[in-house]
Amino acid sequence: MASPLDTVAERVGLAPASPLLVTALTHSSYAAEHDVESNERLEFLGDAVIDLAVADLVITRFPDLDEGTGSLVRSRVVNEASLANVARSLGLGDALRVGRGVLKEKGAQRPSLLADTFEAVVAAVYFERGFDVAKDFVQDCLAEGVAAASKEPGDVDPKTQLRQWAEARGLGTPSYEVRASGPSHDVTFFATVRVGEIQVVGEGSSKKSAEADAAALAWRGQNGA
């Protein structure tokens, strides 16, 4: 029976023994306990590769979308929830190495960790097989989401929705302040969004999700949704 690492390796096109793949599947909690490198640096690069790959997909396959609409489509696809879903389909959570505390809380299946791991895996593919292969990998994973988003580009993410609403009313760009609470393996983030006289607090399992929650609450509060 194939191990979770073998399964992931086959699905992403890398060898199970690839040091980069192993690092991409190493959360900071495990790295701290075993004195090895975490996937945080790879995550940083993978984020950029994904953005470029999706932008390329939008431009080449949907030439009728203008720049603004294309940006909205990308924001609906390149976000924590979307990337976490892709990570689940690849089995990344089962292969992710996490520390004892995260393992106890089943934190390897948290959307924020899954999304970050997918970004790190993309970077591993980029380093080992080059940008073209990494781009094709990302586009294969996200093509369905991009196609769906292109049909309803107005259905935007909460932060974009709030920003557009605020700017249309001359309130400027919303600002966010995030704080964390709880142990490292089970952190809850609280985001305060301020725009004009409005101040709302949201929460989530990551900075991104907390900011999105705050933005959604602020927008709904002003629009009676």
β-sheet bridge partners, residue 151: none
> What pTM, to 2 d.p., does this model score?
0.74
Domain of 193 in residue numbering reads as 158-223
| Residue finishing a domain among 151, 174, 207 | 151
Catalytic residues: 47, 119
Packing angle of the helix pair 40-61, 131-151 (nearest 10 deg)? 60
Closest CA to 38 of 77, 90, 84, 96: 96
pLDDT recorded at residue 153: 59
Same domain, 200 and 143: no
Reported as a single tens digit per residue, the pLDDT across 139-163 is: 999 999 999 888 875 556 788 888 8
* 29-60: pLDDT as tens digits: 999 999 999 999 999 999 999 999 999 999 99
Q: Give me the pLDDT at residue 114, please.
A: 93
- Contact yes or no for 178/203 (Cβ under 8 A): no
Q: Quick one: pLDDT at residue 169?
A: 86
Dihedrals phi, psi of 161, to nearest 5 degrees: -60, -45
If one counts the domains in the chain, the total is: 2
Position 191 pLDDT exceeds 80: yes
CA–CA separation, 165 and 158 (whole Å): 10
Which residue among 151, 171, 193 closes a domain? Answer: 151
Mark which of 116, 151, 186 sits at the end of a domain.
151
Q: Does 121 lie in the same domain as 62?
A: yes
